[in-house]
Amino acid sequence: MANATLNALGQEIFETRYAYPGETKWAERAKVIAKTVASAEKDDEKEKAEKRFYDAVGSGDFIPGGRIIFGAGRNRGNHNLLNCYVIIPEDSVDSIGKTVQDMYKISCAGGGVGFNVSKIRPQGDDIGSVQNSAPGAVSVLQMINEVGEHVRAGKNRRTALMGILNITHPDLLEFLSVKLDQGELNNFNISVAITNRFLEAIELGEDWYFTFNNKEYHSYDLTRNGDEIISVLGMDEEDALARAENFNKVAWTDTFEMIGQRDIKARDLWDMIWKNSVESGDPGIYNIDLANSYTNVSYFERLDSTNPCGEISLPSYGNCCLGNINLNNMVLDDGSDLDWKRLAKTVRTGIRFLDNVLTVNTFPTEECKKVGERSRRIGLGVTGLHYMLIKLGLRYGSESCLEFLERLFGTIRDEAYKMSIYLSRDKKPFPEFDYKKYLEEDFAKTLPARIRMLIKRYGIRNAVMLTIPPCGTISMLHGVSSGIEPIFSAMYNRRYRHNNIWKEQLVVDPLFQEYYDKKKNLEPFIGAYDVAPEDHIKVQATVQKFIDSCISKTINLPPTSTPEEFSQAALDYAPYLKGLTVYRAGAKEGEPLQAIALTKENIEKHMGEQAEVSVAAGDVCSLTGGDC
């Protein structure tokens, strides 16, 4: 296959972020990547595997994760090639200290880290004989965030972190407040881990109380200095007053008086989450029950957190080994269909490639190595989906689009699983494989009968293997739309500062420019904010059925959206999605991009100008340290 030719932006990204000293062409990096990853093969297979990998990577059919692109062949091969990890701290000084230490090691090696801090005792609990002294779960995140301020990895990239707290944890309200009201945890994306029981409580109109170690915590109203009303969580009135004395004083002379218990309605808590999310972009939700049931690993792992961009659910010290099928390359030249044989070949190559990466990778800690080898978890995803849809003449989110996506991702799933079975036959299954338990897992039950039969006969090499990363930078590298996101806009104004002067430039999506120049149909070019929120969710829900891990996807909301409107839509789809993240246009000040509506007048006006052709990258993970 021909080598991919990078556009001007892609070449700039390649040279500034990925190129090894002396490399000037993508083909040079692709050759090193292929050789490095093929070194995991037996001697008589290395040459053939290296050519197969080079053909896929060099042509841009398969795009490895950012850490693989950057790290392959560096430091004599002694380099971390995995994007992201997860650490779940236990409720002890030793565990918290080790968490901070290991986070620093992983971040310095270029990996992003996700955390679920729900095992940490709540603020105000006793520590031994010292009453009401525990600093709480949020304090652990604050320590990690401070360390993250001093981490620079790769080519001066900041660390990427995810903070998750369970909906049941008594520190939840503080968790939301410290990020959103106080502007802290700036290195973190945050998510609330919701449960089936919480969703049921919303439907039934029930009160919601918090729990930790089988203790119930209720909300109490108190007055501070006789007038200001505050709410404090406690196990009873006496406990709530004691916690207020320790943690709610503004001045040392402040006094508190109890008013009484006032529990929160589950629906009010749900609405609060989405009010914050619609207004500021945080938090997302992580459906922890669905993530732990719709998988293949529940019989030996607990998936308490995701990586920073949310595309893969992981156990403590689990990793994500990422690579993506470039769907834009799979469209036939006449736009009539996909080249399904090329797609199947690329999927199979991608699975073998990523499995090899696990073998040649240098893990940042021994725990990461042990957990990575236990399941041989990989994450094959896709990018360029919207470009593919545009070329096929399918409107993003339409019924015909959803039907096509079912066929597409069913094919990707089946080809990926068959390849992992063949690898298991030729090598061996992942160490924790037990065919009876594996085939009883909820995701494995969705596989076709012939594939389940093959798993029983030969085993499977990788416990789970499918995900949807955001693919922000690597999509721009190859000049395609990112992940499964729609393009941001066919045309937009970009504001940026140069020499302390604000400038503005018109940016035109390159595929739109090509279609405009060739006088082709422009109707499929709808931007992220032109897609109805429910159509965004429908695409994610459709794809999720065929993905054994999670999906990184942003639901874009127009500036007029209200939290109340989206709260109900989120509730309707929450049982079917492992994660959900929204962003409302204008939610954050100083947004650098402003979409231009595709009216006839705007097209005639702006396409007549000298436009700078770039890539509308869409919404990507806002924390780029893990470089998904």
Q: What are the pLDDT digits (tens) for 346-369? A: 999 999 999 999 999 999 999 999
- DSSP secondary-structure letter at 338? B
DSSP 366-427: HHHHHHHHHH---EEEEE-HHHHHHHHT--TTSHHHHHHHHHHHHHHHHHHHHHHHHHHHHS
Mean pLDDT of the chain: 91
Query: Any idea which of 112-116, 418-422, 588-592 has the lowest mean pLDDT?
Result: 588-592
Give mean pLDDT, residues 564-585.
Answer: 91
CA distance 333 to 335: 5
Give mean pLDDT, residues 571-585.
Answer: 93
Sequence-distant (≥ 6) Cβ neighbours of residue 597 within 8 angstroms: none
CA distance 391 to 521: 10
Give mean pLDDT, residues 113-118.
Answer: 97
In the three-class reduction of DSSP (H, G, I as helix; E, B as strand; rest coil), residue 581 is classed as strand
The confidence band for 617, taking pLDDT boundaries of 50, 70 and 90, is very low
Give mean pLDDT, residues 540-568.
Answer: 92
- Give the per-residue pLDDT at 157: 60
Number of Cβ within 10 Å of residue 196's Cβ equals: 14
User: Residue 602: enclosing H or E segment and its boundaries?
Assistant: helix 600-606
CA distance 571 to 209: 19
- Give the per-residue pLDDT at 177: 85
Backbone angles phi, psi at 572, to 5 degrees: -65, -40
Q: What are the pLDDT digits (tens) for 454-468? A: 999 999 999 999 999
CA distance 628 to 623: 10
CA distance 9 to 612: 10
Amino acid at 59: S
Q: In the block, which residue shows the tokens 């469209």?
A: 331
The confidence band for 11, taking pLDDT boundaries of 50, 70 and 90, is very high
CA distance 163 to 285: 11
CA distance 122 to 144: 17
> Using CA atoms in the order 606, 608, 609, 615, what is the torsion angle rounded to 10 degrees?
60
Q: What are the pLDDT digits (tens) for 52-92? A: 999 999 999 999 999 999 999 987 556 889 989 999 999 99
Q: Is the per-residue pLDDT at 569 higher than 80?
A: yes
- Give the per-residue pLDDT at 194: 98
- Identify any residues that bridge with 188 across adjacent strands, giving them in sequence order: 161
CA distance 219 to 232: 6
Q: Is 333 buried (19+), middle (13-18) or exposed (0-12) by CB count in 10 A?
A: exposed
Give mean pLDDT, residues 257-268.
Answer: 94
Amino acid at 222: L
Give mean pLDDT, residues 148-159.
Answer: 68
C-alpha radius of gyration, the chain, whole number? 25
Query: Any idea which of 166-175, 228-237, 291-300, 558-567 has the lowest mean pLDDT?
Result: 558-567
Query: Any idea which of 173-187, 326-340, 423-437, 604-618 has the lowest mean pLDDT?
Result: 604-618
Tokens of 366: 């021994």
